[in-house]
Structure 1
Amino acid sequence: METFTANLAHQLVLGGDGVCVVTSARDDAPEVETQEDGVRIVRLPSMQLMGGRLPLSRHGSRERSLLSAVSGLGVDRVLVNTRFYGTSVTGLRFARDIHVPAVLLDHGSAWLTFGRGEALDAAAHAWERRMTAKDVSLGATFAGISEKSAAWLATFGIKTSLVIPNAIDGAAFRGESSGRDFRFELGIPEDKTLVAFVGRLAPEKGPERLLAAMELLGERCACVLAGEGTLRPQLERGLPANAHLVGNLGHADLSALLSQADVFCLPTRSEGFCTSLLEAGAWGVPCVVPDVGGAREVLCHDGKTFGLIAPDREPATMADGIRQVVAAWTSEQARELRAHVERDLSWPQTVRALERAYMSSRIG
């Protein structure tokens, strides 16, 4: 979400708009700053729980002072990301109080989960319902980051066809590649299929399922998993010989990894709109993923599917999908996928979708 916000803000500034991003405070970040591209950032007082995944607002005089300063900028519109943060409700109230239209963009397509037991997840679901009800009461116009996300909002009685999709500057992403040679570093021969995974090493992303699939695929394939998370110790203990953990990668190294990949595979439980799918598509890499948010937008175009949208995320299904894609993929398909991503999933297209959402919104 932070990457989406930063890229959208930058695109809006390039189009001549002024942008102020209001978010929750972090200990290592200044309260107010202005970036080189002119985007202002204001961080409201908050407590960070669950490693920053659940910020809780600290309401009071300092928050009111910061929001008053934001109001003084002459705000014309408000975009709120996600339904369930305290800052989400704060943003909608702010829009209502200064009488400007507000769009709430949801980034989920399934219930929030922390992967730490059913009791905690049940509490999170109750929190989602409560916060979403507040959003509705404040008159937000709702949109989804993907078609799956827009459809998921019906769970809360919200009907919308508005989609403001995630996007990528494909040419820029390819151009920033570090050129790092992962095949050489990890001893993966050119004649082996290289399967890439990019994401948190957490149960909802399914890295353990991919490792099980790699055992089924055998020595003709190798996989590289980029990311960190709670599952890393478990994965290290049972790491197959044809799998490699490389930790978190910066954008330049991530671009280099995907430039060398033959297949991208993410056995994820749910996504709003997975940025890694866009990054793989920018390099023309076919994807094997379940039917999650963003999969159809990236992989399905003009009657073609660039990879495989799997019926489930079981290891055998992932392994079969990888085999099928490798056997059928062509350089022409790779060029078509790259062209589709650059043309149809670009930031100017997302800005246009945002404009359409504001045309549908009402002032609270």
Structure 2
Amino acid sequence: MHSQRREETGRLTVLHLAQPVEGGVARVVAELAGAQMRESTRAVVACPEGGSLPRQAAAAGAQVERWPAVRELGPHIAAETLRAGRLVRRVRPDVVHAHSAKAGLAARLALRGAVPTVYQPHAWSFEAVEGATARLARAWERRAARWTDRVLCVSEAERRTGEGAGIAARWSVIHNGVPEAEPCERAAARRELTLLSGVPSDAALVVCVGRLCRQKGQRVLLDAWRHIAEEVPGAWLVLVGDGPDRRELSGSAPRRVLFAGASDEVGRWYAAADLVVLPSRWEGMALTPLEAMACGRPVVVTDVGGARECLPPGQQETSLVPPEDPRALAGAVTHLLREPELRDFLGEAARKHVRADFDVRRTAASVTRLYRELLDTRVRFGTGRAAR
């Protein structure tokens, strides 16, 4: 039935099932859905209420459906799975694209291969936990691969991590993409920031955008900041984002650190920054460095999944540091804060690099080609569950 409708209209219907609804995952889903809508794919985003994703997806032109689901695993999963199945029957998508661990769990339990299914981990769940919980997460991912037409990774590093965990999947790697940054003059952005926050307009400014949680490593950055503040007097650090660690981090933060909260206009923070830092402990491929580089800002990132793949050639020496190493992070940030001409050079090279290789339109087109490949395979081998 779905195949006949596609032949008549030439238009795919994709259901993006997503949880979480904020941060980088929300921006990836909304931008992907928006780009697909512009390319004549019907994109339906199903997610919980709250967070930024429903607003961002609607603004991008996607159809938004409510899918009540909490972020954590627990007794809610049975009801969440039933709701996911009802959504699929109502929307009647050609492809279901599940984003992150919770949506991937519910979608694959509900469908078990009955509808072409793409699962995008956005960093593996078993990297966030230890012990028995990590073993259970790896075991689930190995089992769920049989109900997954394609596991879509955003970096080769993320794919290698999955393979190392024993997941025997049909893999695709498509890098994250970001839209072309809107022009925003730095001096104007700094003046606005000064009026809103009191940060001096001439201060050296480091910006970190990300959920305030263990994964994003803001604790490591605050430890490094004590060294940076001594070496670069008057420098300020702004943490853009919210999350479970906010109270702990703000309670022990050194001077000249601003907690700006969550923002739907992170581009203004990038525009105001001298340098953007993301000290993550693990990633698939973080969106923050790509967004910052699209704005012409140099970055310092930790050497975790996808970081090497997103940096321009030759910038690994200045922009890449080991994870959970405050002194190495402090050294890299201090070096770049002291070298404005080098920052300008790196930022311009980064802007050109992202425009050439990480355009969200290219990402969306690659994902749509993947959908069509899966559907063509289903036609050739018959309908029903994915062949294993």
TM-score (norm 1): 0.80
How far the C-alpha of 1:318 sits from its partner, in A, is 0.9
Is 1:337 matched with 2:358?
no
Q: Distance in 1 between matches of 2:330 and 2:290?
A: 22
- Letter of the 1:77 partner, please give it: V
Q: Distance in 1 between matches of 2:307 and 2:75?
A: 26
**Residue 176 of structure 2 aligns to a residue in which SS?**
coil
* Residue of structure 1 in register with 2:34 after alignment: 10
**Quick one: percent identity of the two aligned structures?**
24
* Residue of structure 2 in register with 1:39 after alignment: 62
Structure 2 counterparts to residues 296-307 of structure 1, below 5 A? 296-301=308-313, 303-305=314-316, 307=318
How far the C-alpha of 1:214 sits from its partner, in A, is 1.6
Whichever structure has more helix as a proportion of its residues is: 2
- Letter of the 2:351 partner, please give it: R
Q: Distance in 2 between matches of 1:242 and 1:37?
A: 36
- Is the CA contact 2:270–2:292 (under 8 Å) kept in the aligned structure 1? yes
Is 1:89 matched with 2:108?
yes
Per-residue Cα deviation, 1:73-101 (whole angstroms, up to 9, x for no partner): xx3333232355432314653xx325xx4
* Residue of structure 2 in register with 1:117 after alignment: none
When structure 1 is superposed on structure 2, of 165-174 and 218-227 the one drifting more is 165-174
- Is the CA contact 1:299–1:306 (under 8 Å) kept in the aligned structure 2? no
Is 1:77 matched with 2:99?
no
Q: Distance in 2 between matches of 1:40 and 1:263?
A: 36
Structure 2 counterparts to residues 213-232 of structure 1, below 5 A? 213-217=224-228, 218=230, 219-232=233-246
How far the C-alpha of 1:55 sits from its partner, in A, is 6.3
How far the C-alpha of 1:134 sits from its partner, in A, is 3.4
How far the C-alpha of 1:259 sits from its partner, in A, is 1.0
- Letter of the 2:212 partner, please give it: L
- Is the CA contact 1:146–1:164 (under 8 Å) kept in the aligned structure 2? yes
Q: Distance in 2 between matches of 1:131 and 1:62?
A: 20
What is the number of residues matched between the two proteins?
341
Is 1:264 matched with 2:276?
yes
Q: Distance in 2 between matches of 1:250 and 1:360?
A: 34
- Is the CA contact 1:204–1:269 (under 8 Å) kept in the aligned structure 2? yes
**Residue 233 of structure 1 aligns to a residue in which SS?**
helix
Is 1:353 matched with 2:363?
no
Q: Distance in 2 between matches of 1:60 and 1:54?
A: 11
- Letter of the 2:241 partner, please give it: G
Per-residue Cα deviation, 1:44-103 (whole angstroms, up to 9, x for no partner): 4x55254x99962416876654432222xxx3333232355432314653xx325xx433
**Residue 158 of structure 1 aligns to a residue in which SS?**
coil
* Residue of structure 1 in register with 2:174 after alignment: 164
Q: Which residue among 313, 320, 328 is the counterpart of 1:317? A: 328
**Residue 201 of structure 1 aligns to a residue in which SS?**
coil
How far the C-alpha of 1:196 sits from its partner, in A, is 0.8
Q: Distance in 2 between matches of 1:80 and 1:239?
A: 37
Per-residue Cα deviation, 1:211-237 (whole angstroms, up to 9, x for no partner): 221211222422111122333333333
How far the C-alpha of 1:153 sits from its partner, in A, is 1.1
**Residue 126 of structure 2 aligns to a residue in which SS?**
coil
* Residue of structure 2 in register with 1:153 after alignment: 162
- Letter of the 2:98 partner, please give it: V
When structure 1 is superposed on structure 2, of 124-133 and 83-92 the one drifting more is 83-92
Q: Which residue among 230, 250, 260 is the counterpart of 1:236? A: 250
How far the C-alpha of 1:293 sits from its partner, in A, is 3.0
- Is the CA contact 1:84–1:132 (under 8 Å) kept in the aligned structure 2? no
- Is the CA contact 2:312–2:349 (under 8 Å) kept in the aligned structure 1? no
* Residue of structure 2 in register with 1:48 after alignment: 70
Query: 5+ residue gaps in structure 1?
Result: 115-120
Q: Distance in 2 between matches of 1:59 and 1:290?
A: 35
| Distance change in 2, residues 1:39/1:306 (3 Å) | farther
- Is the CA contact 1:207–1:267 (under 8 Å) kept in the aligned structure 2? yes
Q: Which residue among 272, 275, 288 is the counterpart of 1:276? A: 288
| Distance change in 2, residues 1:248/1:281 (3 Å) | same
Q: Distance in 2 between matches of 1:107 and 1:339?
A: 25
* Residue of structure 2 in register with 1:118 after alignment: none
Per-residue Cα deviation, 1:269-312 (whole angstroms, up to 9, x for no partner): 011222211221122111111112332233233x4449511123
Q: Distance in 2 between matches of 1:110 and 1:164?
A: 19
How far the C-alpha of 1:201 sits from its partner, in A, is 2.0
Structure 2 counterparts to residues 192-203 of structure 1, below 5 A? 192-203=203-214
Q: CA RMSD in A?
A: 3.4
- Is the CA contact 1:193–1:220 (under 8 Å) kept in the aligned structure 2? yes
* Residue of structure 1 in register with 2:126 after alignment: 111
How far the C-alpha of 1:345 sits from its partner, in A, is 0.9
Is 1:211 matched with 2:227?
no
- Is the CA contact 2:127–2:282 (under 8 Å) kept in the aligned structure 1? no
**Residue 171 of structure 1 aligns to a residue in which SS?**
coil
How far the C-alpha of 1:246 sits from its partner, in A, is 1.8
- Is the CA contact 1:82–1:88 (under 8 Å) kept in the aligned structure 2? no
Query: 5+ residue gaps in structure 2?
Result: 1-24, 379-385
- Is the CA contact 1:225–1:246 (under 8 Å) kept in the aligned structure 2? yes
